[in-house]
Structure 1
Amino acid sequence: MELFDRIISGERLLVEDREHYEITNIEHTLNNLVSDFEILLHGSTVDIPHHSKLKLNNGYAFATNHAGIAILKAIFSNSYADNLGYPYLLDRGNKLELEILNGQNGVERTKGFVYIISDRRKFKFDTRTSWQYISQYPDVELVGSIEVIRSDFKYPVKYITK
């Protein structure tokens, strides 16, 4: 697949590239890449340099097999809120929705990035969730990235002030 080859070679798929690949729903496209190529995703508001290693946070790195979660992490920053709340178990009864507690300016970005992790062997599935993978390896490589925009996150967002 030309799109996958381009991304894992380290190129960034920008929003303006979507028309060329006939992408009308980036979440659907990302979920297809996850299932077809057994990759994981990592969303970030930070523009991480090409072929960087995924940084450990308190000894752990996190990834997902759910494009909606990756897009959420790419667009919404927990650095500007007391909490970003969303379900750890997603199914027919638990749909993805985001609750932002005491969100400040900067919590919601206009764009972000979903990074591709092609080596799943360094991750273990977190059985407390339906979508999270955890690694303690410091050398997990981010092989490519996809630019996402706020309108790519199609789920309800609720701001809560306490």
Structure 2
Amino acid sequence: MHLHSLAWGALLCRPILTLSIPTQHGAQIPIRVEEQKTTKPVANSVILAYTSDGTDRVQHAELPLQQQISSGVDLPAHPGSIRIETMLNDKGGFVSLEELDQVMCRVIPRLSMEEKASLEAAGMGKAWPWFKIRDETVSFKKSSSRWFLAGRSIQSYECR
């Protein structure tokens, strides 16, 4: 019975193999350098874990370093909390804890004109506190937290 199934397997595979091997007609034409696709390495990115306002469900988002990313589809405008989970290098691997300890992120809230003027008068400009992995989970809802948003929505996120 085993020999019988091998024979059927060989018969069934033969047409597939002959169909999948392309035949060459004429000389191959080399691809010019300007037509070759090159892949640039992806910049390092940070993985953030966050909860949205009103839920305890943890979600994750990947943010490229050195770019401000607007809130919206991938990141909530009203987060409840956030923390840095890990960082990926340009090859998609995890970075060392020493490198991860140097990463800092922040949220940039939407401020009214009065709030902006008040912050500038206090000498703070548009600065908002950064958080690092050692800060663990940052709460935006607790009034005792230095990251308390007081109901403001997030304009953008940034990691360095």
**TM tier, shorter chain?**
under 0.3
Q: TM-score, normalised by structure 1?
A: 0.22
The structure number with the bigger radius of gyration is 2
TM-score by length of 2: 0.22
